[in-house]
Amino acid sequence: MLFRSASTLALTFALAAPALAAEGEATAAAAAAPLAAAEAELDQTSIVVTGQRPEYGVTETSTATRTNTDVRNIPQSLSVITESQIEDQGLRGIADVLNYVPGANPGTGEGNRDQITLRGNNTTADFFVDGLRDDVQYSRDLYNAARVEVLRGPNAMIFGRGGGGGVINRVTKRASGRDYREFAVTVSDELGYRLTGDIDIALGGGHGLRVNGMYEDGESFRRHVDLERYGINPTAGFVLGDNTRIDLSYEYFHDRRTADRGVPSLGDGDLDTVDGPLEGYDRVFFGDPELSYALVDAHVGTFGIEHDFGGGLTLRNRTLLGAYDKFYQNVFPSNLVEETDTVTFGAYNARNDRTNFISQTDLVWDTELAGIDQTLLIGAEYGRQRSRNRRASGTFLNGTGSAPLSDPTIDADIIFAPSASDANNRTIATVAAVYVQDQIRLSDAVEIVAGLRFDRFSIRVNDLRTNGGTFRRTDEMLSPRLGLVVRPMSSLSLYGSYSRSYLPSSGDQFSGLDTTTQDLEPEKFENIEVGAKWMPLEGLLATVAVYQLDRTNTRATDPITNQVVQTGAQRSRGIEVGLERNMTDRWQISAGYTLQEAEIRRTTAAAPAGRSVAIVPRHKFSVWNRYNVNDQLGLGLGVLAQSRSYTGISNQVAVPGFTRVDAAVFYEISENFEAQINVENLLGADYFPTAHSDNNIAPGAPRNVRGTLRFRF
């Protein structure tokens, strides 16, 4: 019924878009020739004037295949949020981006990290930066992002373990070898201020230096909630001859914020009805704001080299070394006792420190074999991740563990100390992988994408608690990918694909390995997808995808033996429709619609069969437009709407559906100086966009205004 009821709507959406535009230059993450890649990067960040801005979306990317591929020839759902759209909408983090991506929903992440749901699968680890794993739990900033790419559906052939519902890849800015400067300041009526800078310097001979920086001192519409974060990211690019490019990058990022876990739920206690969030407390902090904070310091260095041997043969390596220190502590609402109008609280803190070493090497050969044009990829990856995890539970003293609903912001007296069940461990995770992929172009109208990856994933957990021990597990996983692309006309691509991914029993943060789970096989994700990508006219891309994603080998408790078994299963099905790039040479658009359902198919350790997965609204719609009235004045208008979704797997609490309207005005004061005003929630909707659990529900911000001045030269 899901697919039948949506087929007409999906087709109508895909066909409804008028379009007329010249298609912009591609901004691929890694072009086949180093000098061409430098030029593509420059095109993305060069000076722009109203009416001649870079388009939303891209025409080519290497993220989905590790080879430079036209987006229309990728047999997978993909959304691209470019720097120009990030600036136009004033997007600052991953959660902001996901509001405008079909099939994707942000969570609150306990107020201290990015946590997302892609096609019904929740994750804190399926993040990548320039194709390299970025799985630490923190809140990422977009100050140095050239674009954000969201791929839906498992694709372990490219990304390795995890990624059951998809992955998010940030493509960062790099030195272009030409001169460019941009500075911006943003102030808000109640959200503080933000400074950003982007300095690109030509050093001669094709060499370049680039520095991106950011400082933000922010507040919130919620009382006692604030943040301070800053980052700096110098990069250097060296072009050696006509065929070799070397890139060096270092980033330091600091983020300290209040860990705000929202408001509890309010209901009548009837198990046959669904409760909702507590109304009327949108600005009220529940818990102790002085004791609730998150702190992260990240140092990330990368090295990249690319050499073109000629004859279509290119060798690339990219290596990352990162050190991440993360601490968070929170005093949060655990329940609302409605009979007495009393809020009870929980408390704990955790330290999660990690060092990552990840190196990938790809050999790409564009050639013709047996008279068939094809692109062959052979690659290898090695990674080693060391983590130190400690958790301490909070004990409330002097009756400070509860408060009346009339005054739920407390000054708690708490002792934090590890309990017998709190984590205290060291982990070492090692992955060694090899993969091969061939993009076979049988004719101008038919292309096959086939690949296979072998991973050997080993983890060792030293449990440092009393009566702890050492747990080990090694998994050897084969991840296939098969896609068929058919182009009945030059503007239309039809595709079908199958892909598979695995999540080891240690979980996405290596914290789930113990005496029982060290004997469990990885969870398995299998995705079947068919879709179409259509350019009605040059410059506009309409997409539609229909998918079924099955998650199996999930944990369950045998009701007879009371032992953990792997019989649980979950299924997600849906339709995703997208529209992006240029409607006309003055009208840019990014839009999407999702019809989806995700449910437990066989009982798991978390829920019985039949329950719906949390943070999965059945309907989600978003559209953002920028229209340039003339060469000086531009207008922006966006709508974000979704139906209700459950806050947790209990299915006892749900956030109601909502519609939010955003707007913007852009004015070019001079050739290099632009002013911008963004109004979020223009109509002042009272809404709850997401949640972390049944009693940690995030209120949406009221109407707020942000002004930005941007200077480019």
Mean pLDDT along residues 672-693: 96
Band (pLDDT 50/70/90 cuts) for residue 195 is very high
Nearest to 27 by CA among 11, 13, 6, 41: 41
317-330 pLDDT tens trace? 999 999 999 999 99
Q: Where are the beta strands (DSSP E) in 535-657?
A: 540-557, 564-582, 587-602, 619-628, 633-642, 645-646, 654-655
What's the whole-model pTM score? 0.91
- Residues 484-522 as b/e (b if ≥16 CB within 10 A, e otherwise) read bbebeeeeebebebbbbbbbbbbbbbbbbbbeebbebeb
SS3 state at 448: strand
DSSP state, residue 559: T
SS3 state at 89: helix
18-63 pLDDT tens trace? 332 333 333 333 333 444 444 444 344 333 333 356 778 899 999 9
d(CA 49, CA 157): 40
| Residues constituting the chain | 713
SS3 state at 95: helix
What pLDDT, on the 0 to 100 scale, is given for residue 50?
36
What pLDDT, on the 0 to 100 scale, is given for residue 54?
73
Nearest to 410 by CA among 480, 503, 316, 346: 346
Domain regions of the chain by residue span: 2-712
Nearest to 526 by CA among 192, 185, 205, 155: 155
d(CA 474, CA 259): 36
DSSP state, residue 42: H
User: pLDDT: is 454 or 2 the higher one?
Assistant: 454
What pLDDT, on the 0 to 100 scale, is given for residue 565?
81
The token pair that represents 465 in the structure block: 């608690």
Mean pLDDT along residues 526-553: 95
465-491 pLDDT tens trace? 888 889 999 999 999 999 999 999 999
Rounded to 5 degrees, what angle do the CA atoms 325, 330, 335 make? 150
Percent of the chain beyond pLDDT 70? Answer: 92
Termini Cα distance of the chain: 55
Strands 132-133 and 145-152, bridge-based pairing? unpaired
The token pair that represents 165 in the structure block: 């519902």
d(CA 63, CA 157): 12
CB 452 within 8 A of CB 479: yes
SS3 state at 14: helix
What pLDDT, on the 0 to 100 scale, is given for residue 557?
74
- The residues with which 543 forms a beta bridge, in sequence order, are 533, 578
CATH fold of 2-712: Maltoporin; Chain A (2.40.170)
Mean pLDDT along residues 598-622: 94
Amino acid, single-letter form, for residue 324: Y
For the chain, the average pLDDT equals 90
Band (pLDDT 50/70/90 cuts) for residue 423 is very high
SS3 state at 2: helix
134-170 pLDDT tens trace? 999 999 999 999 999 999 999 999 999 999 999 999 9
CA distances from 449 to 16, 241, 311, 499 (A): 30, 33, 22, 11
Q: How many CB atoms lie within 10 A of CB 18?
A: 10
269-313 pLDDT tens trace? 555 678 999 999 999 999 999 999 999 999 999 999 999 999 999
Query: Counting beta carbons within 10 angstroms of the beta carbon of residue 418, is it exposed (0 to 12), middle (13 to 18) or buried (19 or more)?
Result: middle
